[in-house]
Structure formats: structure tokens, C-alpha cells
């Protein structure tokens, strides 16, 4: 079986975070589509300031070593995101199985962690997004087919 991989939801304040990939096993070089969701499970509207080009950050590790990272890079460009009670925001991105130097990664098990880049809202303190506003990590396997 090679169905979707979905993290168990993780909550911080009124927001619930989930990360998913379309399947558990990928061929080497195949795009790894990721979906990061943020759901407001509270009763109050959340308005957060986020970077205009990166709504969420992602780290890919293998055996605890950083392989690749997507985060920041917007400079001073920001946008306001409003999440109503019960509303879910969905953000998508694909990892191209390259490392930080642009080299193709090898076969093996990889752990993926993503976090919301929201701040400037009382329940979302500036900084520490990776520590507070993250989805539980998922594992995928890359193999030579």
C-alpha cells in the first residue's frame, strides 16, 4: 500500500496544524507534493501577518541531519491572513528531492516537518514559529524503483 501520509493534528492555541504527502513511497527524483493545513478550532477570528511568499516553512531531515529547508526569503513583504472559526487554510508545495546544495538525495527514509509562519497576533508570538506552530512530522521513503 502506498496511500497518502497524513500527520496526526497538532494544536497550538486556537490553531490546528496538519501536514500530508500524497503517498508514503516515492521513486528517486519524483516530486514530493506536500500540503500544510491550518484550521481555526477556536471561537475567535485569528488574523496573522505572514511572509508574502512563504506561508509555511519546511525542513527535510534524514537520521536527524538537515537535508533541505524552505522558509523565509520574503524580505519585508508581508500579507494579512484571517482565519475564521472553523475555517481551514491550505498551503501546498513540492519538494524536488534536492538537498541544500541542489544535489539529488539518495534512497532512504526522510522526515518532513512544516510550520506556519504566522505572527503579530496575540496567540501567535513573533519568532519561534517552528517551535510552536508546527504540524507533527511525517516520514516518507525514497527508493530506486
- Tell me the domains of the chain and their CATH numbers: 5-143 (2.60.40.2360)
Rg over CA atoms, the chain: 15
CA-wise closest residue to 39 among 100, 83, 97, 95:
83
Q: Is the pLDDT of residue 73 over 60?
A: no
Summarised one tens digit per residue, pLDDT across range 100-132 is: 999 999 999 999 999 988 777 667 766 788 888
Distance between CA atoms of residues 53 and 137, nearest Å: 22
| Residue 74: predicted pLDDT | 60
| Residue 1: predicted pLDDT | 63
User: What value does the mean pLDDT of the chain take?
Assistant: 89
Summarised one tens digit per residue, pLDDT across range 34-66 is: 999 999 999 999 998 887 767 888 999 999 999
Amino acid at each position: 500500500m502506498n496511500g497518502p501520509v497524513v500527520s496526526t493534528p497538532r494544536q497550538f492555541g486556537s490553531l490546528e496544524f496538519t501536514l500530508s504527502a500524497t503517498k508514503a513511497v516515492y521513486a528517486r527524483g519524483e516530486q514530493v507534493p506536500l500540503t500544510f493545513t491550518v484550521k481555526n478550532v477556536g471561537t475567535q477570528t485569528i488574523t496573522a501577518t505572514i511572509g508574502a511568499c512563504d506561508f509555511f516553512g519546511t525542513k527535510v531531515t534524514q537520521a536527524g541531519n538537515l537535508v533541505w529547508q524552505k522558509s523565509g526569503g520574503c524580505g519585508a513583504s508581508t500579507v494579512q491572513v484571517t482565519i475564521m472559526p472553523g475555517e481551514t487554510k491550505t498551503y501546498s508545495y513540492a519538494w524536488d528531492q534536492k538537498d541544500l546544495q541542489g544535489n539529488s538525495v539518495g534512497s532512504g527514509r526522510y522526515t518532513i516537518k512544516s510550520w506556519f509562519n504566522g505572527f503579530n497576533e496575540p496567540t501567535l508570538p513573533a519568532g519561534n514559529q517552528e517551535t510552536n506552530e508546527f504540524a507533527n512530522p511525517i516520514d516518507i521513503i525514497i527508493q530506486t524503483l
